[in-house]
Amino acid sequence: MSMLEDRVANRRTFAIIAHPDAGKTTLTEKLLLFGGAIQLAGAVKTRGEQRRARSDWMKVERERGISVASSVMTFDYKGRTFNLLDTPGHEDFSEDTYRTLTAVDSAVMVLDGAKGIETQTRKLFEVCRLRDMPIATFINKFDREALDPFELLDDIEQTLALDVVPASWPIGMGRNFLGCYDLFRDQLVLVSKDKNNHLDEGIVCQGVEDPKIDELLPESYAAKLREDVEMIRELCPAFDLQAFLDGTMTPVYFGSAVNNFGVETLLEGLTTMAPPPRSAPSATREILPNETKVAGFIFKIQANMDPKHRDRIAFMRLVSGHFKRGAKLKHVRSAKTINVHNPVLFLAQDRELAEEAWPGDIIGIPNHGNLRIGDALTEGEDIRFTGIPSFAPELLQKVRPIDPMRAKHLGRALIQIAEEGAARTFKTRMGSDWVVGVVGALQFEVLADRIRTEYDIPVNFEQTELYTARWVEADDHNDLKKFVDANQASLAEDHDDSPVFLARNSWHLERAEKDWPAIRFLKTKEQL
């Protein structure tokens, strides 16, 4: 095996998806703890604690500040290198979260045991499903009163239309939560009295009939466990690794992240089951991780907090090859060569010393706005990666500079922001107003803050009557021209001067679609 093949075989790049408060931060902290990246774990913890005292908006702002550092957390466990990609934690849905999921190979879905599947879990799951991503489920907070575990399995199965197989099974809950039976490894894992950070110790059993269980558990608990396991064997399918890898079956773990419980069992599961870096589709061919030439795609842009610099960090997922600091890569869209001499490499505890990266790793590339979401960097091949999603704007607001003299500058700022992929921006034909389209309301606040700090233009966002935006296209240019001329009042241009129809309500859109059959009304525009 070559070094490249070996590194690929042992890389595991994943994300945690959860509804806010289910325990994503806590679980992240514990995973890092067991992975030996303890100082990082401390950082995550403070962040979790601070967060609760603050508003959603403050959360976003602070997340931006630390997000470069904590965007990718790398830890080693049992010979594997895990890259855990952070997804923004706030309630509002953001495009960043979606796109981050295009850069991972598997996900852990964390549920609150008292709540089951919540709205955000479901939305994030749907994004994972689009890519048939393998998902392991961790049902958290079993140290509190939780729903019946069978009910929870049913909830996942029904709500997400996913096959479920318990990997571990809880014994009691709340104050009487004694531990779990690890069904995959036939071990009894008991909650330890001492709360220090250590690994759960499993006691190997010969199945649930093992008399050891009677010594270790009160009689009624042992009986209940045996009864439950019998029911599981009757009701649940056997675990099928391929079905997990295809994203149609999820193994379910139970635990209490805050008490370190169940985390090790989950980590073991990821170590044995989670897939290595996947290949990536492109317009011309599939790019395989073991190819020796470096190729990667940009999936996220992070604007820097420093208002004096307009630097950005573009996050690239390395798809193939062995990347070394200083590599010269072709920026396919502009056909220019980029010298990546100061990448941010996220590696174990020695981030400073990292000089290289492997497929599945994430590289942060500082730049001045020339790198955009969806861009490919390669060692020469003209690759255009596909499958990086673009989102239909669901919320539209007008934006104006507080000082009208700054209107031109605002226009330039908005074009840059749109090029980055952080929002859609439209300029109306009549009135020349700027309209910004996003998918989550909180993005407006983030944008207002960015425009103020990065471009020094204080702005106001204002509600509009607008319902949605559609890019308009036609096979025959004359048809398009006729449509555009007849609908001036509802037309705008995006940052590339492509025409966009701004509908006032669903009726308005339906009407236009009916009246203009030659026109295509598109929800999104391809990134490139």
Q: Which stretch binds ligand GDP (CB under 6 A): 7-15, 139-147, 161-169, 302-310?
A: 139-147
Q: Is residue 89 marked as binding?
A: yes
Q: Is residue 481 marked as binding?
A: no
Name which of 249, 181, 254, 272 is nearest 221 in CA terms: 181
The contacts of residue 68 (CB under 8 Å, 6+ apart) are: 302, 304, 313, 344, 364
**Tokens representing residue 322 in the block:** 């062995």
Q: Which of 11, 21, 134, 437 touches ligand GDP by CB under 6 A?
A: 21
443 burial via Cβ count (<10 Å: 0-12, 13-18, 19+): buried
Nearest approach, Cβ of residue 123 and ligand GDP (Å): 15
361 binds ligand GDP (CB under 6 A): no
Tally of residues, the chain:
528
Name the one residue in this structure whose structure tokens are 């960090």.
Answer: 313
| 157 phi and psi angles, rounded to 5 deg | -60, -45
Pattern of binders to ligand GDP over 197-216, x per CB under 6 A? Answer: --------------------
- Residue among 41 and 319 whose Cβ is closer to ligand GDP: 41
Q: Which of 22, 73, 191, 503 touches ligand GDP by CB under 6 A?
A: 22
123 binds ligand GDP (CB under 6 A): no
Q: Which stretch binds ligand GDP (CB under 6 A): 19-27, 76-84, 302-310, 416-424?
A: 19-27
389 binds ligand GDP (CB under 6 A): no
428 binds ligand GDP (CB under 6 A): no
Site for ligand GDP in 34-93 (CB under 6 A): 48, 89
- Residue among 146 and 373 whose Cβ is closer to ligand GDP: 146
Q: Which stretch binds ligand GDP (CB under 6 A): 93-101, 120-128, 250-258, 299-307?
A: 250-258
The number of residues that bind ligand GDP (CB under 6 A) is 17
The contacts of residue 103 (CB under 8 Å, 6+ apart) are: 13, 85, 299, 300, 315, 317, 362
Torsion region of 262: left, alpha or beta (phi above 0 gives left; psi -120 to 50 gives alpha):
left
329 binds ligand GDP (CB under 6 A): no
Nearest approach, Cβ of residue 305 and ligand GDP (Å): 22
Q: Is residue 143 marked as binding?
A: yes
139 binds ligand GDP (CB under 6 A): no
467 burial via Cβ count (<10 Å: 0-12, 13-18, 19+): middle
Nearest approach, Cβ of residue 195 and ligand GDP (Å): 12
User: What count of other Cβ atoms lies within 10 Å of the Cβ of residue 141?
Assistant: 26
424 binds ligand GDP (CB under 6 A): no
Alpha-carbon distances, residue 483 vs 221, 234, 470 (angstroms): 72, 62, 13
115 binds ligand GDP (CB under 6 A): no
- Residue among 23 and 359 whose Cβ is closer to ligand GDP: 23
- Residue among 124 and 287 whose Cβ is closer to ligand GDP: 124
Q: Which of 63, 143, 200, 264 touches ligand GDP by CB under 6 A?
A: 143
Asked if 301 and 345 touch (Cβ cutoff 8 Å), the reply is no
**Tokens representing residue 338 in the block:** 């980029």
Nearest approach, Cβ of residue 48 and ligand GDP (Å): 4
Nearest approach, Cβ of residue 264 and ligand GDP (Å): 14
User: What count of other Cβ atoms lies within 10 Å of the Cβ of residue 394?
Assistant: 15
Q: Is residue 304 marked as binding?
A: no
Q: Is residue 487 marked as binding?
A: no
The contacts of residue 147 (CB under 8 Å, 6+ apart) are: 113, 114, 115, 116, 155
Name which of 108, 102, 83, 85 is nearest 23 in CA terms: 108
Site for ligand GDP in 253-272 (CB under 6 A): 256-258
Instruction: For residues 402 and 471, give the distance between their C-alpha atoms in angstroms, rounded to a whole number.
Output: 29
| 197 phi and psi angles, rounded to 5 deg | -75, 105
Nearest approach, Cβ of residue 173 and ligand GDP (Å): 11
The DSSP call for residue 54 is S
24 binds ligand GDP (CB under 6 A): yes
Q: Which stretch binds ligand GDP (CB under 6 A): 138-146, 367-375, 384-392, 419-427?
A: 138-146
Nearest approach, Cβ of residue 16 and ligand GDP (Å): 8
Instruction: For residues 277 and 135, give the distance between their C-alpha atoms in angstroms, rounded to a whole number.
Output: 15
Q: Binding site: residue ranges?
A: 86-90, 140-143
Q: Binding site for GTP: residue ranges?
A: 86-90, 140-143
- Contact residues toward ligand GDP (CB under 6 A) are 18, 20-26, 48, 89, 140-141, 143-144, 256-258
